């Protein structure tokens, strides 16, 4: 068993895989240690059925009960087959009343591919301003910021849009994304980064119409789903009996929260890692060890010298890498670093060194300020034959819009197409905002029975349309990830403890954006049933866009990572999942995590780091 | 044949751990003291019942499940493990292999066997010559000869596993009451549907034998989920169905409870749903504190059973989905594997 590599990467999701792809192809020896299973799509190996299924009970499985000693002990939990078990390894958050609750929020997925296995695959770029929010706001007047915190806490990224842009192009091409450039407010240096979008689901026309009436330029939402053969990953669109490609088979209600059995959704396994494994030039230079959880690092003189992990039997093992890349998703990466510090005092000393006002590790944890509106369209449409979204607009990121509303940052707005497209997903998410409260409303509304059930179906099934916004959250030092003082996982390791709230300006921004979403639907002819945002829900403060906590920057006293995502006090330790972000961007984060990971790979190769 | 990677993928997160606390005992007598299952995440997943890859029998894969038996040996002290059971050549031992990781032996022994769908089966492990039941799988049954055996069932199983006939009968009535199939529109659909099934049966085009009721097999689904994934709710059902039987009998002494009048079921449903805990005349609250809690559980199960993938035992012959399709644009067949659906790319 090989124990020495040029690069050891922890986590095979959006932040880890692009580096593996680039470095293994550059002739370096690369190991990925991934905690979750290597669930494979159909015919991998040939003839084998898929580990991912079009089965609603895979997305939100049977009920379990929370047994650990926290405030919500005894409550029901429902998780996907590739999310961790809350009794084995919960995330704990402190609710406003001061009680500690366990939650599944804050986990993306634990499998090879990480969150990209379950994601809705909405793959937007951030805007130029998203990366420069400090400079952008310097001379602006903001509402709902009486103490000037927003301007004080806003940060510029240490790179700007033009530094990242070539890597957006690279990510879009290598991951395999369909979409439309025209209509976006972000510059593209290459015209051919997207595959062709499929025809939209007819239900989305109401959102598109609403955007048009409001004068919002719209475009087809970029989605990480291939619609044409994808040469770099060797994926082919299924053919019919005549040999004609049938890209429409990707349209199914089993998109968001489901792994794709056909490998058409561009998760990092099928897009990047499997091609490496099949590349004879790469050969033994790339190894993927699934079902291996990294427990801690040790260091000597500023170099991580050992990566300690448990193999599939739970047996402790070690490897070493000239470079070590942490990409466990923000909460788990911070946790892994903090736990390493508990094992090795010299590690802790370096990790926490240098920042003003105490360690910055785990601080400035971010998610997205998000929310939207939903309603019923006139007519019924088969939403079960769709991808996750059809139309998006950058209108609410335009400077004029932000000035008009006194906002520090903008949002992407897009319609959701496949939500509640299947019967059980409609039942379990009926009036539910988050993963911890699903089923509650349906089971309690006992009038939904017999004719009442039929009426409820007629009122909701294949009629619902929602529009969401995704916006920057104001960075606050008090929003943070720590180790829980008491609760441990099934390995006896302390679990992550999440403390997080919203700034007054976030609430203002979310009110404005939710109102825009409501208006889009209304102008599009949709009977709006509700609109709102996560600002009032403690659990959904965490959700599954988990960012920050190890932000990068140019000043070691104000950031945990340098501009190349290397931990300031370590020579060979990099962090490339969503935790590097100093601000969370006005769009879904995964494409930006991937692009940044390609950027870091390019630095490692071209600057001769390894 | 499933490779070692498959076995590790389906074992590690559930079985590997250092903490031996009963983190997965949800109470209600779910596990006995010291039962290994309480220490394991989702012990019900074992043996692993999955879609079938390739059969060597020449019969279609869709008629089989791949069943992977796993025997963990964290102390690494066993030499030979075999499984004997009612699923293959009767009681002939099938050897499990030691699963490797990077060329080294792991804690897991495993073997995959194709087993016909729609059946209930019994097995034991033979470890270094001695018989044991499966320590992980919580499904166990005492056979007629008094011996304790481990049990599993394959997909689309419609024989009752843990519930008795009278329990299923009462459940069917409640499921009918909750689900939209006993409405005028539902009845119209089902009369068409039964005719259609009868024609198919005549033509020999429907698969297997099944027992269908108006609730699209939701009660059968509940039997399966209580045997397996939500075994911790078996106690709720046992207690509450016993109470309901008594209460229905008190109100309609001339009928078997499952044949009591519609009106009685309507009234009891209303009473169960009344107020925060329910208010059912005759309910013994000291035995079960909230009939409403039970109703909520039943509502979730009825819904899930009627509309989930038929492999779980409900939505028999896709009746639930076909009902939806008769009222809404819902081309579910296009996404799903044959022979349930029509997808030419996805095999299930
Ligand atoms: C249902 C859902 C829908 C989503 N939809 C979208 C969307 O439409 N668009 C979008 O941009 N984003 C979406 N996201 C978010 C997206 O999944 C994440 O932004 C992205 O995956 C984060 O990348 P990452 O590298 O930070 O972490 P991940 O991709 O989560 O990768 C982290 C990996 O590290 C592994 N790991 C963790 N700890 C350890 C350890 N100790 N040892 C070894 N391995 C470890 C994990 O198992 C995991 O595989 C969605 C997420 C979910 C859950």
Taken in order of first residue, the domains within chain A and their CATH numbers are 4-40+83-421+462-606 (3.50.50.60)
For residue A588 and ligand 1, the question of a CB distance below 6 A is answered with yes
Cβ neighbours of B344 (radius 10 Å):
15
pLDDT over 70 at A16, yes or no: yes
| Stretch 191-220 of chain B: residues touching chain A, C-beta under 8 Å | none
Radius of gyration, CA atoms only, chain B: 22
Q: Measured from the CB, is residue A421 less than 6 Å from ligand 1?
A: no
Write down the pLDDT at residue A420.
87
pLDDT digits (tens, 9 = 90+) for A279-295: 999 999 999 999 999 99
Tell me which long-range contacts A522-525 makes (C-beta under 8 A, separation of at least 24): A522/A210, A522/A375, A523/A209, A523/A210, A523/A213, A523/A214, A524/A205, A524/A206, A524/A207, A524/A208, A524/A209, A524/A210, A524/A211, A524/A213, A525/A206, A525/A209, A525/A210, A525/A377, A525/A378
- Ligand 1 touching residue A33 (CB < 6 A): yes
Distance CA A371, CA A376 (A): 17
Residue with tokens 């300031």: A568
Name the minimum distance, in Å, from the CA of A83 to any CA of chain B.
Answer: 10
The C-alpha torsion from B300 through B301 and B304 to B307, rounded to 10°, is -120
Task: Summarize the confidence of residues A128-144 as an average pLDDT.
Answer: 98
Helix (H, G, I), strand (E, B) or coil at A493: coil
If contacts are CB pairs under 8 Å, which of residues 127-156 in chain B contact chain A?
A: none
For residues A563-577, average pLDDT:
98
| B293 touching chain A per CB within 8 A | no
Q: How many CB atoms lie within 10 A of CB A177?
A: 26
Q: How far is the CA of A593 from the centre of ligand 1 (A)?
A: 10
Q: In this structure, are residues A564 and A603 in contact, taking their beta carbons and an 8 Å threshold?
A: yes
Long-range CB contact pairs, B131-135, < 8 A, 24+: B131/B84, B134/B46, B134/B47, B134/B69, B134/B71, B135/B36, B135/B37
What is the rounded distance in angstroms from the CA atom of residue A109 to the CA atom of residue A121?
A: 14
Q: Would the pLDDT of A102 be above 50? A: yes
Calculate how far, in angstroms, residue A376's C-alpha sits from the geometric centre of ligand 1: 31
C-beta separation of B152 from B139 below 8 A: yes
Minimal-distance CA residue to ligand 1 atom 21: A115
User: If you count them, how many residues does chain A have?
Assistant: 610
Give the pLDDT band of residue A542 (cuts 50, 70, 90).
Answer: confident
Q: Residue B90: what pLDDT?
A: 74
Q: B274 to chain A: nearest residue by CA? A: A446
In chain B, residues with a C-beta closer than 8 Å to the C-beta of A37 are 8-10, 12-13
Interchain contact, A1 vs B324, CB within 8 Å = no
| Site of tokens 């049966």 | B201
Beta bridge partners of A412: A470
Residues of A in contact with B70 (CB under 8 A): none
Q: Whose CA is nearest to atom 4 of ligand 1?
A: A119
pLDDT tens string A30-74:
999 999 999 999 999 998 999 999 999 999 889 999 999 999 999
Q: Which residue stretches of chain B are H helix?
A: 4-15, 165-178, 184-203, 218-227, 234-251, 262-272, 291-307, 319-327
Q: Which of A60, A81, A112, A115 to mutate to test the pocket of ligand 1 (most atoms within 8 A of CB)?
A: A115
Short-list A386, A278, A365, CA closest to A577: A365
Instruction: Retrieve residue A200's tokens.
Output: 């939209």
pLDDT of residue A382: 97
Yes or no, beta carbons of B335 and A49 under 8 Å apart: no
What's the confidence (pLDDT) of residue B9? 98
Put simply, the answer to whether A54 touches B182 (Cβ < 8 Å) is no
Average pLDDT over residues A358-371: 95
From A176-180, A423-427, B192-196, B319-323, the region with the lowest mean pLDDT: B192-196
State chain A's mean pLDDT as an integer. Answer: 96
A332 lines ligand 1 (CB under 6 A): yes
Q: In this structure, how many other beta carbons lie within 10 angstroms of the beta carbon of residue A503?
A: 23
pLDDT at B208: 42
Report whether pLDDT(A539) > 60.
no
Of A148-157, A427-436, B37-46, the poorest mean pLDDT is in A427-436
- Residue B13 to residue A37, Cβ atoms within 8 A: yes
Closest chain A C-alpha to B78 CA, distance in angstroms: 15
- Mean local confidence (pLDDT), B70-75: 96
Asked if pLDDT for residue A447 goes beyond 70, the answer is yes
Distance to chain B for A256, nearest Cα, Å: 15
Cα separation, A561 vs A6, whole angstroms: 21
Residue with the smallest CA separation from ligand 1 atom 27 is: A329
- Paired with A373 in beta bridges are A467, A531
Residue among A9, A13, A471 to mutate when testing ligand 1 (max atoms within 8 A of CB): A13
Q: Is A581 in the pocket of ligand 1 (CB under 6 A)?
A: no
* Residues of chain A neighbouring B5 (CB-CB closer than 8 A): 38, 290
Q: Do B9 and A381 touch (CB under 8 A)?
A: no
- Average model confidence (pLDDT) across chain B: 92
- Identify the pLDDT of residue A61: 87
List helix spans (H) across B204-275. Answer: 218-227, 234-251, 262-272
pLDDT tens by residue, A185-236: 999 999 999 999 999 999 999 999 999 999 999 999 999 999 999 999 999 9
A11 touches ligand 1 (CB under 6 Å)? yes
Interface mutation vs chain A, best among B300, B308, B314, most A CBs within 10 Å: B300
Region A330-338: mean pLDDT is: 98
Residues 283-312 of A with CB under 8 A from B: 289-291, 310-312
Q: Where are the domains of chain B?
A: 4-153, 165-335
Residue-level pLDDT at B198 = 76
pLDDT of residue B211: 45
Closest chain A residue to B75, measured at CA:
A313
For residue A103, what is the enclosing H or E element? strand A100-103
CATH topology of domain B4-153: Immunoglobulin-like (2.60.40)
N-to-C CA span, chain B:
16
pLDDT at res. B205: 53
Across A382-391, B4-13, B179-188, least confident range? B179-188
pLDDT given at position B209: 40
Measured between beta carbons, the chain A residues lying within 8 angstroms of B23 are: 67-68, 87-88, 490
pLDDT category at B88 given cuts 50, 70, 90 is: confident
The answer to pTM > 0.90 is yes
Residue A283: exposure state from Cβ atoms within 10 A (0-12, 13-18, ≥19): exposed
Q: How many contacts (CB atoms, under 8 Å) link A and B?
A: 219
Average pLDDT of the segment spanning A424-443 = 83
Q: Predicted confidence band at A434 (pLDDT cuts at 50, 70, 90)?
A: low
Residue A480 bridge partners (DSSP): A363, A499
User: Residue A597: CB within 6 Å of ligand 1?
Assistant: no
Q: Could you tell me if A555 and A589 are in contact, meaning their C-beta atoms sit under 8 angstroms apart?
A: no
């Amino acid at each position: 068993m090989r124990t020495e590599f040029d690069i050891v990467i922890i986590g095979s999701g959006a932040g880890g895989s692009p580096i593996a792809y680039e470095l293994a192809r550059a002739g370096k020896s690369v190991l990925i240690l991934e905690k979750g299973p290597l669930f494979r799509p159909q015919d991998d190996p040939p003839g084998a059925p898929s580990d991912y299924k079009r089965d609603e009970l895979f997305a939100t499985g049977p009920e379990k009960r929370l047994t650990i000693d926290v405030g919500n002990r005894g409550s029901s939990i429902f998780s996907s087959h590739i999310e961790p078990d809350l009794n084995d390894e919960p995330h704990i958050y402190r609710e406003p009343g001061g009680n500690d609750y366990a939650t599944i929020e804050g986990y993306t997925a634990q499998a090879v591919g990480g969150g990209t296995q379950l994601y809705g695959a909405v793959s937007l770029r951030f805007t130029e301003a998203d990366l420069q929010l400090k400079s952008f706001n310097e001379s602006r007047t903001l509402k709902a910021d009486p103490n000037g915190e927003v301007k004080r806490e806003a940060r510029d990224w240490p790179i700007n849009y033009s530094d990242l842009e070539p890597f957006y192009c690279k990510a879009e091409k290598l991951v395999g994304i369909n979409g439309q450039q025209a209509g976006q407010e972000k510059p593209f240096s290459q015209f051919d980064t997207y595959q062709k979008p499929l025809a939209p689901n007819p239900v989305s026309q109401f959102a598109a119409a609403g955007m048009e009436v409001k004068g919002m330029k719209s475009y087809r939402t970029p989605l990480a789903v291939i619609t044409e053969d994808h040469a770099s990953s060797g994926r082919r669109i299924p053919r019919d009996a005549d040999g004609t490609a049938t890209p429409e088979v990707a349209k199914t209600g089993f998109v968001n929260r489901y792994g794709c059995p056909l490998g058409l959704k561009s998760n990092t396994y099928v897009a990047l890692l499997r091609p490496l494994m099949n590349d004879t030039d790469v050969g033994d230079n790339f190894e993927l060890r699934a079902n291996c959880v990294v427990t801690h690092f040790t260091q000597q003189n500023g170099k991580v010298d050992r990566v300690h992990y448990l193999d599939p039997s739970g047996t402790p093992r070690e490897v070493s890498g000239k470079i070590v890349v942490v990409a466990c998703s923000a909460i788990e990466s911070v946790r892994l670093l903090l736990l390493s510090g508990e094992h090795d005092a010299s590690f802790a000393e370096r990790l926490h060194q240098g920042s003003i006002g105490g360690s910055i590790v785990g601080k400035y944890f971010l998610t997205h300020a998000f929310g939207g509106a939903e309603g019923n369209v006139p007519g019924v449409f088969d939403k079960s034959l769709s991808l996750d979204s059809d139309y998006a607009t950058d209108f609410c990121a335009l400077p004029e819009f932000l000035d008009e509303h006194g906002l520090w940052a903008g949002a992407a707005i897009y319609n959701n197409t496949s939500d509640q497209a299947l019967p059980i997903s409609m039942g379990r998410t009926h009036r539910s905002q988050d993963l911890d409260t699903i089923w509650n409303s349906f089971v309690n509304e006992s009038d939904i029975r017999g004719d009442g059930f039929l009426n409820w179906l007629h009122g909701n099934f294949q009629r619902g349309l929602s529009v969401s916004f995704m916006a920057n959250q104001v960075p606050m030092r008090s929003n943070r990830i720590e180790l829980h003082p008491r609760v441990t996982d099934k390995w006896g390791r302390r679990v992550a403890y999440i403390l997080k709230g919203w700034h007054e300006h976030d609430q203002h921004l979310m009110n404005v954006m939710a109102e825009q979403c409501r208006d889009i639907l209304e102008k599009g002819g949709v009977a709006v049933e509700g609109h709102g945002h996560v600002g009032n829900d403690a659990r959904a403060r965490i959700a599954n866009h988990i960012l920050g906590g190890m932000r990068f920057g140019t000043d070691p006293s104000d950031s945990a990572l340098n501009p190349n995502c290397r931990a300031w006090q370590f020579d060979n330790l990099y962090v490339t999942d969503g935790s590097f972000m100093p601000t969370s961007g006005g769009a879904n984060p995964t494409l930006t995590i991937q692009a940044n990971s390609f950027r870091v790979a390019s630095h490692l190769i071209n600057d001769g780091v390894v | 044949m499933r490779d070692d990677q498959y076995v590790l993928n389906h074992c590690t997160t559930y079985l590997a751990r250092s903490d031996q606390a009963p983190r997965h005992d949800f109470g209600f007598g779910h596990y006995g003291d010291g039962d290994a299952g309480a220490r394991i995440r989702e012990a019900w997943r074992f043996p692993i019942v999955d879609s079938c890859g390739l059969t060597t029998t020449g019969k279609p894969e869709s008629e089989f499940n791949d069943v992977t038996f796993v025997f963990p040996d964290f102390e690494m002290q066993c030499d030979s493990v075999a499984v004997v059971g009612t699923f293959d050549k009767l009681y002939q031992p099938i050897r499990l292999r030691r699963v490797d990781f990077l060329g080294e032996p792991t804690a897991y022994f495993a073997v995959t066997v194709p087993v016909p769908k729609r059946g209930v089966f019994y097995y034991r492990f033979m470890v270094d010559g001695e018989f044991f039941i499966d320590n992980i799988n919580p499904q166990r049954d005492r056979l007629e000869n008094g011996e304790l055996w481990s049990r599993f069932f394959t997909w689309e199983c419609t024989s009752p596993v843990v519930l008795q006939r009278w329990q299923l009968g009462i459940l069917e009535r409640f499921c009918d009451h909750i689900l939209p199939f006993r409405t005028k529109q539902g009845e119209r659909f089902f009369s068409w549907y039964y005719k259609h099934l009868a024609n198919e049966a005549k033509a020999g085009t429907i698969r297997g034998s099944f027992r269908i009721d108006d609730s699209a097999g939701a009660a059968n689904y509940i039997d399966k989920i209580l045997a397996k994934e939500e075994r911790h709710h078996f106690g709720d059902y046992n207690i509450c169905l016993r109470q309901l039987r008594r209460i229905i009998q008190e109100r309609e002494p001339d009928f078997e409870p499952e044949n009591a009048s519609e009106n009685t079921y309507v009234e009891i449903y209303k009473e169960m749903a009344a107020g925060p805990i329910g208010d059912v005349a005759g309910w013994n609250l000291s035995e079960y504190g909230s009939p409403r809690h039970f109703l909520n559980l039943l509502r979730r199960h009825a819904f899930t059973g009627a509309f989930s993938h038929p492999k779980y035992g409900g939505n028999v012959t896709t009746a639930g989905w076909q009902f939806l399709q008769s009222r809404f644009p819902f081309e579910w067949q296009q996404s799903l594997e044959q022979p349930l659906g029509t997808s030419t790319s996805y095999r299930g």
